[in-house]
Every structure is written in structure tokens, then in C-alpha cells.
A = this chain, B = another copy of it.
Amino acid sequence: MTSTPLSPTPRSTVRRNAVRARTDRADLHAVLDAGLIGHLGLAMPSGPVVLPTGYGRDGETLYLHGSSGAASLRAAGAGIPVCFTVTHVDGIVYSRSAFHHSMNHRSAVVQGTARLVTDPDERWHGLAVLTEHLAPGSWDHSRQPDRKELAATAVLALDLTEASVKVRTGPPGEDERDLADPQADWAGVLPLRTVWGEPEPCPLLPAGTPVPERVSSRG
């Protein structure tokens, strides 16, 4: 059970626990780019909060956004330390022992002090990056924000300087003694993946409106 993401330290096993800390920037970027939502943690006066948050990456900068009225965003934008974590679960690892059950996963943990973006050009750029991450092609195919919408939106920037990546892949790590245990009737990985469904057109669209390729090709 310590083979969970919280506890990547391998024990002496037949097949070592495959959790690895990655240091390559390409690994970090890949984990972030493959995600849609991250979890933003910050220490509020009332205690820590962890909020699901959309994001987008431009080079070594993550852009986050939310309502300019949200206390959490105001706090983060005021320059308090934050942690932003993106996790993908790739499979359940069934082991011959309860202890070595685990998850195959990829996770990125970014720590730093978020910066409230105030420069109008960078705000605009950040919003484009966020929209394009969520819905590639949408920025140029939707009405862009007006002044009122801009005022309602806080954009934060977070440097990727302090970031770590962990990846676990492969079959279970097992103790030698468990290999012939008759109680353990199976071991292996049950993979898990995320798939797109059929696009569901807005009911207010004229009938027969084609689904654009930027949406349908995502599937």
C-alpha cells in the first residue's frame, strides 16, 4: 500500500516499484500538456484549500484563471505561495500482496508564487493560451472577451522553475515470497484511459450545423 503516489520509495522486491522521478523538462511539459484540469493548493487563513483549476502552458509559464471575485484567486494573485498539481491515472496495479497494490500514474507538482497578470497584452495572451489549451482552435472561433468580461477574470502566471514529475509504469513490484501464494490468484495491470465521446451540439444551434474539425478530430 505504500506503493501509492504518496510514497514512491521502492522496497526490496522481485520487480522494483517503477515510480521514477523525472527531471527532463520534456516529461514535465508532456504531463502538463496532456491534462485538462489541475489542483491549485493555497494556504488560506481558514486552512488549506485545493481547487480544481483550468490552465494552459506557454513555455515555462503556466497560466491559471478564475473569477476576479474569488477570494482564493485574490489571495494567490497577491503573491502567496501556491502548489499546482496535475495527475493522470493510467491503470490499477493488482499485486499478490495488498501492500504492493498501486496505481500507474503520471503527476506534475509545481510550487511557486503565483503572479497576478496585470499587463493588458499578457492578460490577453494568457487568456488565449488558456482557451486554446481547453479547446484548441476556439480562440479564433468565438467572440473574444469584452471589457466587462476581462474585468471579471483574474489571470495568474506561475513559473515552472520549481516543478517535479513522477511516473509509475509497468507491472506490480512483488516480494519473492508472494509469487507462489495460492490466495493471490492474479496480478497485473488494469489500464485506464480517457476517451472523447460524440460531440453534443448546443440545442440553440441551427439544425444540421456541421461539427468543425477542431472538435471532431479531437476524438
Contacts and interface: CB of A to CB of B under 8 A. Distances in A.
Contacts of A101: 131, 134-135, 138, 142
B98 A138 contact: yes
Contacts of A152: 2, 11
Q: How large is the interface on A (under 10, 10 to 19, 20 to 34, 35 or more residues)?
A: 35 or more
- Dominant secondary structure at the A interface: mixed
The complex is assembled from copies of this chain, and their number is 2
Interface string A20-58: 000000000000000011011111000111111110000
Contacts of A194: 192-195
25 contacts: A1-B65, A4-B66, A6-B67, A9-B69, A39-B39, A48-B81, A48-B111, A52-B87, A91-B200, A94-B215, A96-B142, A98-B131, A98-B139, A141-B186, A171-B200, A179-B204, A186-B211, A187-B201, A187-B205, A188-B202, A188-B205, A188-B215, A190-B200, A191-B198, A192-B196
